[in-house]
A and B are shown apart, each in its own frame.
Chain A
Amino acid sequence: MAQPSEYLLELTGMRKAFPGVLATDNVDLKIRPGEVHALLGENGAGKSTLVKMIYGILKPDAGEIKFNGKAVNIKAPAHARELGIAMVFQHFSLFDSLTVVENISLGMDHASSMRELAEQITEVSQRYGLPLDPDRHVYTLSVGERQRIEIIRCLLQEPKLLIMDEPTSVLTPQEVEKLFVTLRRLGEEGLAILYISHKLDEIKALCHDATILRLGKKVATVSVDKESTGSLAAMMMGEEMQAFQHPEKPILGDIRLKAKNLNMVAKDPLGISLKDINLLVHSGEVVGIAGVAGNGQDELLTALNGEHLTESGSIIIEGEQVGHLGPNKRRLMGMASVPEKRLGHGAMPDMNLIDNAFLTSYERLDFINHGFIDYGKTEQYANKVIKDFSVKTPNAEVPAASLSGGNLQKFIMGREFDQNPNILIVSQPTWGVDAGAAQTIREAIRKMASKGAAVLVISQDLDELMEISDRMGAICGGVLSSFYPIEEITVEKMGLLMAGVSLDDSVTDDVRDNANNDITNKSNQNAT
């Protein structure tokens, strides 16, 4: 045996280059047993690359990994698991059509029989407060429950180090709280946790030490207690974070968009039906709808923008009943929308930017000339969008799929914004977009409202919504909550709304405790 070391995991000089990018460069990291260590950095800072090297998915170009004081060359995930390293991915590696126990079995290197495994799952889930039924099919589970599968799968292998890649991005605040209780308990039992995040308050609440990465390089390793959220952010961003100034109370104009008792039965068996949605958006305001993924956001967007037709009176634009009109007719009335999925919904991946610009704007901007496409005008428009939103692309003739996520999002946003819509519906405006582009997009959204548009933003990013909205509500299981002015909104209140709890009734502690169960039950009912 090697001499005992104070550290469970020691990384020195880790380096990995991809064609054209140096993803991580000379990064050191040390974790003690029982320590919850944060790995902090913006998108693209090299966090994922670093942990993929620890977990054996990527091979480092240079650097040394010591585990338990012994130098190791981790060749594959199975090898990492053998050493005692487990990882919960940001995007779950789950199989929808299989059951919980089958899923967990697939992730185990030494599988016992299904029955034994089911018993072990039940035992671990009870011990750590992670309720989960082994025989359920994954597609019937909520996101929080899916994450529990991953965590339990890791715990069953009795790891020494647990890597968690942005585990809270898909959870409600209450689910996050529960997860933290579990993680703290695991830490007390001696498990080291490497916690990847860019959410500073979570790191303050959970972690002991933090290693901060920026542009592939290590900035510092600090003790979290001794730092403020601001100083951590400064190290992460490389400059003092510019707080977004929440605008003055908007001057509300007329009601531009209205949904009245909107019901829509989901055609997709895994979809969510909309139930009695009531919604008002005035000219000049930004209305935010929060919610955990898969609670009817897509359905709401497609009902409002006309991709799915509903009863004519259930959607009203500028006083006219439009529920039965398709997207083009609604566009002509001044509605623009940006869906969550960029490639394949917001843009055609293999078509170039000019064609993509044409597709949603030709009617409103009159790009058709005697039945033929007016390419000159369309190209001008595409170039205007590229310039206005500083989209990084060699020219307008590259396929949409070749743009990075952030740039494509800027282009799609710009394509809709530059049509000067009266009504703008945006879903997940900054999902997977880097901080700079996200800032541009948020400012553009506010600007649309100040120019008099009625703006509806559907997002899973609560911080973002609280930053840009004037009024907020949440969607849960296809039911829309009431809306509250931003001054009355707190994270806790939003958490309850996202869990489908009404704030108008007196909220007892009982209800709060049940909030998490509620949300899972709701989404289950809808999934089945």
Chain B
Amino acid sequence: MEILVAAILTIITAATPLLFAALGELVTEKSGVLNLGVEGMMVMGAIVGFAAVHFSGSATVAIFASMVAGASMAAIFGVLVLVFHASQVPTGLALTIFGIGLSALVGQGMIGVAYDGIPQLHIPVISDIPVIGEIFFSQDGLVYLSIFMVFAVMWFMNKTRAGLILRAVGDSHDAAHAMGYSVLKIRFLAVIFGGAMAGVGGAYLSLAYSPLWVEQMTAGRGWIALALVVFASWKVRRVLMGAYLFGGISILQLHAQALGIAVPSQVMSMLPYLATILVLVIISRDRSKIKLNAPASLGKPFHASR
């Protein structure tokens, strides 16, 4: 039982950063923009969040700082892609490379600095209930925020007019423009939201998952988040499922080692990435599924003149 609880707790911490980043990217992609810079935005969120907590001592300040960092990175991308019509794929790749480099520069003085990790919820009595209390009532605030965001995004997408407009812009930007909606403004906001979410996802790594700064500590999670959006076929509920599934796979290595299973740790470390490739291959086999769910204007530049 103890092993199970420990496993679930690590799955949650492994899943949360993926969930944040994938939710943000889902909203961005639903508006028709493909931002491949998630990794870069996450890693910037991680270092800025870590630096903020180091200097201010406040986790709340750190979380907001990481959002701003992610959103600023996204804003660069947004301006390049939406205003100057740069091609989305290379711009996104460049953003990732830029983010990794810039975070290393900013984080030079942070290597080896210690931090206790953001505080966990503790409700007397309830949090002390064995198993249930440990799993549901003893998490840090970001875990609850990530779950809250799942429902918030779901509600926004399906129940609000703004969400409807966002989906419409992603489906056919020409039609949306003809109706008088500001395609670029809506897309820019979606890109910024995606950046802020990626930033928090990154901050979760440096504030809670392993509270310290290491260069490139996101270690490809941004790419997994991107794959998750496709895996979830752009549906919010499936992003939640997918994030926890991938979280589960990525902590397998820890528990396999703990249980003394003789598989080289390198192979275990590969698992989440192998799983990503495998899932994408399987999903891509059924092109009809992608075609029916993917935002029809995804990755296509919009020129208002036409």
Contacts and interface: CB of A to CB of B under 8 A. Distances in A.
A binds B: yes
Interface of A: 57, 76-78, 89, 92-98, 102, 105-107, 111, 139, 267-270
Nearest to B294: A97
A57 B180 CA distance: 9
Contacts of B295: 97
B168 A95 contact: yes
A95 B292 contact: no
A95 B175 contact: yes
Interface string B156-171: 0000010011011001
B269 interface: no
Contacts of A139: 292
Main secondary structure on B side of the interface with A: helix
Nearest to A89: B178
A97 B178 contact: no
B164 A93 contact: no
Interface string B272-306: 00000000000000011001110110000000000
A181 B62 CA distance: 66
A93 B178 contact: yes
A95 B293 CA distance: 13
Contacts of B168: 95, 98, 102, 106
A106 B291 contact: no
Residue from B165, B174, B292 whose CB has the most chain A CB atoms within 10 Å: B292
B172 A106 contact: no
B288 A106 contact: no
Given A97-B296, A270-B291, A77 B171 contact: no
Contacts of A92: 175
A268 B289 CA distance: 10
A105 B291 contact: no
B180 A78 contact: yes
B291 A268 contact: yes
B280 to A, nearest CB: 19
A94 B179 contact: no
A268 B179 contact: no
A95 B164 CA distance: 11
Contact of B174 (A77, A93, A111): A93
B85 to A, nearest CB: 16
Contacts of B164: 98, 102, 105-106
Nearest to A102: B164
Contacts of A96: 171-172, 296
B161 A111 contact: yes
Report the interface size class on chain B: 20 to 34
Question: Which of B161, B178, B293 has most chain A Cβ within 10 Å?
Answer: B178
Contacts of B174: 93
Given A96-B171, A98-B167, A268-B291, A107 B296 contact: no
B171 A76 contact: no
A95 B176 CA distance: 8
Contact of B165 (A78, A106, A269): A106
Contacts of B287: 267
A78 B165 CA distance: 15
18 contacts: A57-B178, A78-B180, A93-B174, A95-B167, A95-B175, A95-B176, A96-B171, A96-B296, A97-B296, A98-B167, A102-B164, A105-B164, A106-B168, A106-B179, A139-B292, A269-B288, A269-B291, A270-B291
Contacts of B175: 92-95
Nearest to B161: A111
A76 B179 CA distance: 10
A78 B176 CA distance: 13
Given A93-B175, A95-B172, A106-B168, A76 B291 contact: no
Nearest to B289: A269
B291 A77 contact: no
Contacts of B178: 57, 77, 89, 93
Given A93-B174, A268-B288, A268-B291, A107 B167 contact: no
Given A93-B178, A269-B292, A270-B291, A105 B161 contact: yes
A96 B172 CA distance: 8
A397 B190 CA distance: 41
A267 B287 CA distance: 9
A95 B166 CA distance: 12
B292 to A, nearest CB: 6
A421 B55 CA distance: 77
B171 A97 contact: yes
A76 B180 contact: yes
